[in-house]
């Protein structure tokens, strides 16, 4: 989609849709509605609001024809509730305009605030709302609608701050959609080698370096836990390290992603119902790739690394077994308890590698536990860190991005449940506190890094749309990570 800034008047801008946000049904209490109603003449807008029962509630959409009173063909009013008059309303506006578009190809948006944040939020909303995963549709099932262009009506289209806002909105919106498409891709096509090839190809386009190890190189490095999970699969694993390192960067953040392109549960086989969506078990890797690509597009002056371990977890003749013991890249030995708790094994070797990169922070994204979904539901991710400052910074970034996280405890009283009678560690604890013991296990391999684990099992893949999140892969996590990086830059400037 082409998104541009325009100084055209809303009265004269030529578009299929002229869009405005509102938090009320009272035309005379909203300046934008008042001006729009006056331009349309008579009581056409007020009558439509009354007839359609529009109240300004979040997500309500009112469409009416302009009947030649404006240069635009249609007027669309999007309910934004208590966010009326705030930059956050711009994202709601963009999202619902894109969702409402059928045969309409162009839109002009009256922003709730004439500032860079509104421009950014509108761009993110437009790109997110227009997302469709249609790769495998053919013939009449191939979608033919959708917005092709959108103008954001501003007072000064040459304002550098507004241009930067548009660049950021596009970068984040596109990166989120990249993550969505990776998660939605079927596992017969998105294998570990295919995921690694995608990461390397996209990195090259943006000046991001990418190192990809095949199975032999992973063996040579000593990543025995990653290799253990891979043993049941006929498809080789991959290990990926992407680096955005702009000249003069003084801060470095290393993101680690779980890249299970399919998880059958291994010998501890999942039931069919639980297996059907396990293509999504590489969402952590998709988020991690998206973060680096967005940082590069925005040219953030901060070093951003992505470390990804990718494999399938299958039940072949050589599959790893409960009771097996394997060494790790870290050196600790690990007793296998449940082969369906494979993600933490892959992450353990990835974290041991990541901690040696010397970043200010090491942060992983992983669809790790059903226990986290039981605790927090589908739409909120679990945040685990013993570092109070890091956790608070990240929660603030989440508030700015509109993504939902909740900090859960790194309860040290549960760490003894990971002790094994025959190895250094068991990779699962007791039946209780599963999300917490998973985080504690990962922390064993992060060393002295300022470490945070993000369990995105719930919001990374949804059975049905919720708020800004679509059905299927959601790209949840990319937006917060970028806001976190920007926050580090702001604190450094202070």
Q: List, by residue number, the catalytic residues.
A: 270, 344
| CB 193, CB 147: distance < 8 Å | no
Contact between 107 and 8 (Cβ < 8 Å): no
Q: Which residues contact 72 (CB under 8 A, 6 or more apart)?
A: 10, 13, 14, 15, 16, 17, 18, 66, 108
Q: Are strands 74-79 and 17-22 parallel, antiparallel or unpaired?
A: parallel
Beta bridge partners of 406: 382
CA distance 144 to 103: 8
Task: Judge contact between 173 and 127, C-beta under 8 A.
Answer: yes
Give the integer Cα–Cα distance in Å for 118 and 7. Answer: 15
Tokens of 364: 């992983």
Measured between its terminal Cα atoms, the distance across the chain in Å is: 36
Hey, what are 153's tokens? 């009506």
Distance, CA of 45 to CA of 27 (rounded, Å): 8
Count of CB atoms within 10 A of residue 65's CB? 13
SS (HEC) of 340-367? CCCHHHHHHHHHHHHHHHCCCEEEEEEC
Cα 112 to Cα 19, 61, 83, 251, distances in angstroms: 11, 16, 9, 35
- Of 307, 290, 303, which is closest to residue 473 (Cα–Cα)? 290
State whether residue 255 is helix, strand or coil.
Answer: strand
């Amino acid at each position: 989609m082409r998104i541009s800034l325009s100084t055209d008047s809303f009265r004269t801008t030529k578009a299929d849709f002229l869009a405005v946000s509102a938090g009320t049904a009272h035309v005379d209490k909203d300046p934008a509605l008042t001006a729009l109603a006056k331009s349309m003449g008579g009581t056409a807008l007020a009558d439509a609001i009354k007839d359609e029962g529009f109240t300004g509630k979040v997500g309500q959409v009112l469409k009416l024809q302009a009947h030649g009173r404006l240069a635009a063909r249609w007027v669309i009013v999007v309910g934004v509730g208590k966010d009326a008059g705030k930059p956050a309303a711009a994202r709601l506006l963009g999202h619902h305009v894109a969702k409402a578009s059928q045969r309409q190809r162009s839109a002009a948006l009256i922003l709730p605030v004439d500032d860079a944040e509104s421009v950014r939020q509108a761009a993110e909303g437009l790109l997110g709302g227009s997302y469709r995963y249609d790769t495998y549709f053919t013939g009449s099932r191939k979608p033919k609608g959708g917005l092709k262009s959108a103008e954001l009506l501003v007072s000064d289209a040459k304002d550098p701050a507004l241009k930067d806002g548009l660049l950021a909105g596009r970068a984040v919106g596109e990166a989120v959609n990249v993550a969505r498409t990776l998660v939605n891709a079927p596992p017969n096509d998105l294998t570990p080698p295919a995921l690694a090839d995608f990461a390397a190809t996209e990195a090259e386009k943006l000046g991001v370096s990418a190192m990809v190890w095949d199975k032999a190189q992973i063996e040579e490095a000593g990543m025995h836990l990653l290799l253990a999970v891979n043993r049941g699969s006929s498809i080789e694993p991959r290990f990926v390290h992407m680096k955005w390192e702009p000249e003069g960067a003084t801060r470095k953040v290393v993101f680690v992603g779980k890249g299970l392109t399919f998880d059958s549960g291994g010998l501890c086989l999942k039931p069919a119902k639980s297996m059907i969506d396990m293509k999504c078990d590489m969402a952590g890797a998709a988020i991690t790739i998206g973060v680096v690509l967005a940082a590069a597009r925005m040219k953030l002056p901060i070093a951003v690394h992505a470390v990804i371990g990718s494999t399938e977890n299958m039940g072949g003749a050589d599959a790893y077994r409960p009771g097996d013991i394997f060494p790790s890249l870290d050196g600790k030995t690990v007793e296998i308890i449940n082969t369906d708790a494979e993600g933490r094994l892959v992450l353990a070797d990835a974290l041991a590698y990541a901690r040696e990169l010397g970043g200010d922070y090491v942060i992983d994204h992983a669809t790790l536990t059903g226990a986290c979904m039981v605790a927090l539901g589908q739409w909120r991710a679990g945040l685990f860190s013993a570092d109070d400052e890091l956790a608070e910074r990240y929660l603030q970034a989440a508030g700015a991005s509109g993504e939902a996280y909740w900090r859960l405890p790194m309860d040290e009283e549960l760490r003894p449940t990971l002790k094994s009678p025959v190895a250094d560690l068991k990779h699962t604890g007791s039946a209780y506190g599963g999300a917490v013991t998973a985080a504690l296990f990962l922390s064993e391999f992060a060393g002295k890094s300022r470490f945070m684990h993000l369990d995105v099992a719930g919001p990374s893949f949804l059975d049905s749309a919720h708020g800004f999140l679509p059905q299927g892969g959601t790209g949840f996590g990319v937006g917060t990570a970028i806001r976190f990086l920007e926050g580090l830059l702001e604190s450094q400037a202070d």
